[in-house]
Amino acid sequence: MNLRNRTILITGGSAGIGLAFALKFVELGNQVIVTGRRQSVLDDVHAKYPKLHTIQNDVADPAQIAALATRVKADFPNLDVLMNNAGIMLFKNLRVPAVDLAGLMAEVNINVGGVIGMTSAFIDILTANKGTVINVSSALAFVPLPAAPIYSATKAAIHSYTQSLRFQLEESGVEVIELMPPTVKTDLAADMTEGDVVTVITTEELVKQSFASLSAGALEIRPGQAKLLAFMRRLAPDFINRQLWKASKKLVPVLAR
């Protein structure tokens, strides 16, 4: 991927991995727009990093996606990179009925619906500008973390969707990249601790490894432990699945939510 002179939209770029990528892209001289749901967080980000453009937006809401697409296409006609990064992870107890059935779909709506909706809403400008789509899935696309069952399923879905997208866009001039991070120290992974099975890396380390792969032209980026999980999934799937269950069992909430 060409890492310079791009105009880049990063969903969920107000914190964690999205913000770390946004700052690296700015450092390389790119124009970067970040989104997030909370205006106060976006205001803080803009005050601290005035070069970042910020727009409040919820990727789970199709009407908000449509409004964002209209605004960004008008204000940033050179937009040529969409990084679908916004995501949430929830720990779920599947043994009891959910209190809130609609709430049960939150991860699906954001992690899957958001990626599909955003990609569709921006595909015309990305095609016109011969752009790049970067979908952020997870190492958990290979092996589920059973304490986060819906989250893991959403990431497997994004892995599948991204492969289809890459084939369909093969002759369009749009490159499709998938970033599959391992556990990274952010708010999303605050309850995940380093142990026998799980290793945790910083956003700085993730950026370092990912940008090396991006500049080398990789289309599927598996930093840190993601590479190992992909390998173990082939070598000993039952073993690695059970290891992740053991490592995450304590994170299953006692009560339904």
Ligand X SMILES: NC(=O)c1ccc[n+]([C@@H]2O[C@H](COP(=O)([O-])OP(=O)(O)OC[C@H]3O[C@@H](n4cnc5c(N)ncnc54)[C@H](OP(=O)(O)O)[C@@H]3O)[C@@H](O)[C@H]2O)c1
What's the distance, Cα to Cα, between the start and end of the chain in Å? 41
Q: Which is nearer to ligand X, 58 or 80 (CB)?
A: 58
Structure tokens at 5: 């002179």
User: Which range of residues in 82-90, 124-132, 207-215, 247-255 is near ligand X by CB under 6 A?
Assistant: 82-90
Residues 220, 159 contacting (CB under 8 angstroms): no
Query: In the complex, what is the shortest distance from the CB of residue 55 to ligand X, in angstroms, rounded to a whole number?
Result: 10
C-alpha dist (Å) from residue 74 to 2, 70, 132, 147, 193: 24, 6, 19, 42, 44
CA distance 100 to 251: 20
Q: Which of 142, 151, 161, 211 is the catalytic position?
A: 151
Give yes or no for residue 225 binding ligand X (CB under 6 A). no
State which residue, 119 or 183, has the beta carbon closest to ligand X: 183
The tokens describing 99, both together, are 């209190």
Nearest distance in Å: CB 135, ligand X = 9
The answer to whether 162 contacts ligand X (rule: CB under 6 A) is no
> What span, in angstroms and rounded, lies between the C-alpha atoms of 132 and 115?
14
Amino acid letter for position 234: R
Contact 157, 102 (CB under 8 A): no
User: Is 49 a residue of the active site?
Assistant: no
Choose, by CB under 6 A, the member of 7, 30, 35, 210 that binds ligand X. Answer: 35
**Nearest approach, Cβ of 245 to ligand X (angstroms)?**
18
Contacting range for ligand X; rule: CB under 6 A; set: 13-21, 69-77, 97-105, 237-245: 13-21
Residues that bind ligand X (CB under 6 A): 11-12, 14-18, 35-38, 41, 57-60, 85-89, 110, 114, 136, 138, 181, 183-184, 186-189
